[in-house]
Structures are given as C-alpha cells and as structure tokens.
Amino acid sequence: MRVEIFAADWIFALFANIIPSSQMHNFYDAFFKEGWIFFYRFALAFLDVMSSRILEVDEEDEIKDLIKQPLQSRKFLEERTETRGSFLSIFGKIF
C-alpha cells in the first residue's frame, strides 16, 4: 500500500482527528519543538500501536479504512488507553 493513500489526511490534520483535543497540545508542543521528524516518529509509533489490529485485516481497503477513519482509530487507541493510563503513554517515549 502506498503511503500517500493514508498519510495525506495525517499531514493535513496533524493527527487532530485521532488525538483527543484535551491532549492535542502535547502533540503540537513536540511538533513545533522538533519539527517534521517528530511527525514521522509519531506516524511510525501510531502504526506500531495499531499493528495488531492492522494484521487482523485481510484486504488493503480494510486497512486503509482502519487507519484513515478517525473514529475507528481513536476507539481502538482509547481502548488501549484504558489499560495503560494516559492516551499519549501508549506511544512510549515519543512524549
């Protein structure tokens, strides 16, 4: 799957459609401090966190829908948050 298929939404919205608005300031702080390198590290961490769900899906279109649809992604991430605490803590040392 080509990165352009799913990454354009991330770039345009800077993950605002996935990260809860109450914690978006942490993302912006790091993004403005570190620049695009932080964005790409976050994108890779996001895919890593979502990897178990991505690997359950068989079709390329289903994968695209999973990672492009903010409600599905956010719901999955929030379920993981319930077991780990802070939403951003699921991304490890990025924050």
Q: Decide if 52 contacts 10 (C-beta within 8 A).
A: no
Buried b / exposed e along 45-81 (16+ C-beta atoms within 10 A): bbeebbeebeeeeeeeeebeebbbeeeebbebbeebb
Q: What is the pLDDT of residues 63-83, one digit of tens each?
A: 877 777 666 666 766 666 665
pLDDT over 60 at 93, yes or no = no
Whole-number pLDDT of residue 46: 82
Which of 46-55, 64-73, 85-94 shows the lowest mean pLDDT across its residues? Answer: 85-94
